Amino acid sequence: MHVGRFERGKVIMARLDYGTDIVEGICEVARSAGIKTGVFSAIGALQRAEVGYYDQETHEYHGNVIDQPMELVSCSGNISIRDGTPLIHVHAALADRDGTLVGGHLQSGTIFAAEVCVQDLEGDFLVREHDPTTDLFLWGGPD
Ligand code: ZN
């Protein structure tokens, strides 16, 4: 287990622009605020999205394109360092007109409306390192 302890820093509330990408938008909010470690959540609606599923056997992501308007029911993730720069990791649950949910690792999403809350965490940086067991870049550091 890898454990990091942090103090709460500033909180940024942002409305992202119509027609832009939500993953890039959250990145820009974090970058412009100088946040290198943090957590975030967002709600709103997307015009289309691509969510990924990580195949635990093949160690590959499979993207599922959702090419219809969806409610962004829940979107959350974290910010940590990979290869010296902040990287955001985003998961989302999306609902169609009937309320049926789909979701996964959010790779991209075109915004209809999106409200984001980003919490800066102060302390040591969380750094992602390659994990040979999962073939993912996970938080490293002292065991
Ligand atoms: Zn993920």
Give dist(CA 72, CA 109) in Å, integer.
Answer: 10
How much distance in Å is there from the Cα of 90 to the middle of ligand 1? Answer: 6
In the chain, the number of structural domains is 1
What is the chain's length? 143
Give dist(CA 13, CA 40) in Å, integer.
Answer: 10
Residue 2 lies in a domain: no
pLDDT digits (tens), the chain, 143 positions: 888 889 999 999 999 999 999 999 999 999 999 999 999 999 999 999 999 999 999 999 999 999 999 999 999 999 999 998 899 999 999 999 999 999 999 999 999 999 999 999 998 888 999 999 999 999 986 55
State the residue range of the domain holding 56: 7-139
Residue 100 lies in a domain: yes
How much distance in Å is there from the Cα of 106 to the middle of ligand 1? Answer: 7
Residue 11 lies in a domain: yes
Q: Ligand 1 (ion): which residues have CB within 5 A? A: 105
Q: What is the pTM of this model?
A: 0.93
Name the DSSP letter for residue 97. Answer: T
Q: What pLDDT sits at residue 142?
A: 55
SS3 state at 107? strand
Residues 6+ apart with CB under 8 A from 62: 52, 53, 54, 55
Give dist(CA 27, CA 98) in Å, integer.
Answer: 31
CATH number at residue 42: 3.30.1330.80
